């Protein structure tokens, strides 16, 4: 998104090998009957499939198993994370909290869920259906060395693997001719993450995973999501998404229209940490051209016995932001420009 905003764009006119892809939206959040049917068809033709599941982050999100909606902060348009111990939902941007909802605010469905399956469970479910199929796990838990990566990729190339189940690692530009099915799970989870880039991340993953199949033959892409109305218009045209999303960022005042920074204050004594937070806020308030979006306890309140607080800032002027940050820099204060991680 940032590059699209900053740089000129040149598009290739066509693919090197023109193939067509069919997109099918399916419901649910597990390996269900529709996935099994698609896998069966692919295996029957002696072709290969990949199954994608997103890596689960530090936080749980409450989502609706019926419509796929994640509860969003009314002020920041990002997903609110579940803090089970404190029995509330919290926005990691502005600190806004809400009691845990019992039913979906969009469709009324109850109960809401926070559990989702991982690569291991997905493989187990596939193996139960297809005991003869050769499956492999492709994620950070199983691919721990460059050698293991090489082995897995050469097995895939030699067609010693029928179904590869993995996480974000699958999205990299691997090019194998016989993959004719991509099943993409968990996009609704990606859309609900506490990150203003959630839509960008979900849709770029969709394009990347879909791009792993149909390199030389026509292929099928199964997308497990209840947000088909969001994805469908962009399937053939990601530039349309970029234009649309740029408008959202402009209105919601997110990068690339502003610069953001996160300040993390950590101290072994909770009182000291809290006092440092107050001092830092006082200093920052002297600057007119920066805005304090949120402040308070960090989502992970304690790491290595140090109590953590954070402040989220934004400004139309990167220079002004850097100036203000410079004035608060000292030991025990961590500054993160254009933060990606809000934990
Ligand atoms: Zn719902
Ligand atoms: Zn918020």
Mean pLDDT by 10 residues, the chain (343 residues): 91 86 91 95 96 84 86 86 81 88 89 86 95 94 91 93 94 85 94 90 94 92 95 91 95 93 95 95 94 90 89 95 92 89 81
| Nearest ligand atom owner, CA of 63 | 1
Using an 8 Å Cβ cutoff, are 82 and 60 in contact? yes
Which token pair is 277? 């937070």
The residue among 221, 185, 157 whose CA lies nearest residue 20 is 221
Cβ burial 120-143 (10 Å sphere, 16+ → b, else e) = eebbebbeeebeebebbbbbeebb
117 Cα: distance to centroid of ligand 1 (angstroms): 19
Give the ligand with the smallest distance to the CA of 72.
2
**Which pTM does this prediction carry?**
0.86
Q: What pLDDT shows up at residue 8?
A: 93
Q: pLDDT at position 302, please?
A: 84
Handedness of CA 49, 28, 54, 337 (dihedral sign): positive
105 CA → ligand 1 middle, Å: 7
Q: What is the pLDDT of residue 167?
A: 92
Other CB atoms within 10 Å distance of the CB of residue 66: 18
Query: What CATH superfamily is the domain 259-337?
Result: 7,8-Dihydro-6-hydroxymethylpterin-pyrophosphokinase HPPK (3.30.70.560)
Distance 73 CA to ligand 2 centre (A): 5
Residue spans of the domains in the chain: they are 2-56+116-249, 259-337
| 3-state helix/strand/coil string of the chain | CHHHHHCCCCCCCCCCCCCCEEEEEECCCCCCHHHHHHHHHHHHCCCEEEEECCCCCCCEECECCCCCCECECCCCCCECEEECCCCEEECCCCCCEEECCCCCCCCCCCCCECCCCCHHHHHHHHHHHCCCCCEEEECCCCCCCHHHHHHHHHHHHCCCCCEEEECHHHHCCCCCCCEEEEEECCHHHHHCCCCCCHHHHHHHHHHHHHCCCCCCCCEEEEEECCCHHHHHHHCCCHHHHHHHHHHHHHHHCCCCCCEEEEEEEEECCHHHHHHHHHHHHHHHHCCCCCEEEEEEEEEEEEECCEEEEEEEEEECCHHHHHHHHHHHCCCCEEEEECCCCCC
pLDDT of residue 21: 93
Please give the Cα distance from 217 to 67 (Å, whole number): 33
228 Cα: distance to centroid of ligand 1 (angstroms): 14
Strand 48-52 and strand 179-184: pairing? parallel
What pLDDT shows up at residue 106? 87
What is the 101 CA–ligand 1 centroid distance (Å)?
Answer: 12
Which residues have their alpha-adjacent CB atom under 5 A from ion ligand 2? Answer: 73, 75-76, 91, 93-94, 96
Report whether 72 contacts 227 (CB < 8 A). no
Phi, psi of 309 (to 5 degrees): -125, 155
Q: What's the CATH superfamily of 2-56+116-249?
A: P-loop containing nucleotide triphosphate hydrolases (3.40.50.300)
pLDDT (0 to 100) of residue 176: 85
**Ligand 2 center to residue 83 CA distance, Å?**
15
Write down the pLDDT at residue 236. Answer: 81
Q: Determine the pLDDT at residue 311.
A: 96
Measured from the alpha carbon of residue 79, the closest ligand is 2
Give the pLDDT score at 68: 85
pLDDT, residue 209, reads 94
Distance (angstroms) between ligand 2 centre and the Cα of 283 equals 23
Neighbours of 108 (CB within 10 A): 10
Ligand nearest to the CA of 112: 1
Distance 269 CA to ligand 2 centre (A): 27
């Amino acid at each position: 998104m940032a590059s699209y905003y900053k740089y000129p764009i040149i598009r290739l006119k066509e693919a090197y090998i023109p193939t067509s892809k069919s997109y099918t939206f399916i419901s649910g959040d597990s390996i269900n009957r529709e996935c099994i049917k698609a896998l069966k068809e692919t295996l029957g033709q002696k072709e290969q499939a990949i199954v994608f599941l997103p890596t689960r982050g530090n936080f749980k999100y409450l989502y609706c198993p019926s419509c796929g909606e994640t509860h969003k902060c009314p002020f920041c348009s990002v997903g609110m994370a579940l803090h089970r111990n404190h029995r509330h939902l919290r926005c990691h941007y502005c600190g806004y909290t809400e009691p845990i909802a019992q039913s979906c605010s969009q469709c009324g469905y109850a109960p809401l869920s926070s559990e989702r399956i991982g690569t291991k469970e997905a493989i187990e479910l596939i193996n139960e259906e297809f005991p003869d199929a050769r499956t492999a796990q492709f994620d950070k838990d199983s691919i721990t060395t460059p050698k293991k990566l090489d082995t897995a990729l050469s097995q895939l190339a030699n067609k010693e693997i029928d179904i590869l189940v993995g996480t974000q690692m699958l999205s990299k530009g691997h090019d194998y001719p016989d993959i004719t099915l991509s099943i993409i799970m968990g996009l609704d989870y990606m859309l609900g993450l506490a990150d203003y880039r959630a839509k960008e991340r979900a849709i770029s993953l969709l394009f990347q995973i879909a791009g792993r199949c149909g390199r030389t033959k026509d292929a099928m892409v199964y997308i497990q999501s209840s947000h088909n109305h969001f994805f469908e218009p962009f399937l053939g045209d990601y530039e349309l998404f970029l234009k649309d999303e740029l408008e959202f960022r402009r209105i919601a005042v997110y990068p690339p229209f502003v610069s953001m920074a996160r300040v993390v204050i950590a101290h072994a004594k909770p009182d000291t940490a809290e006092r440092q937070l107050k001092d830092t806020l006082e200093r920052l308030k002297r600057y007119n051209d920066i805005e304090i979006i949120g402040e308070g306890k960090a989502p992970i309140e304690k790491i290595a016995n140090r109590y953590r607080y954070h402040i989220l800032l934004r400004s139309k002027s990167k220079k002004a932001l850097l100036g203000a940050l410079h004035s608060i820099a000292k030991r025990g204060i961590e500054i993160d420009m254009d933060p990606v991680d809000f934990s």
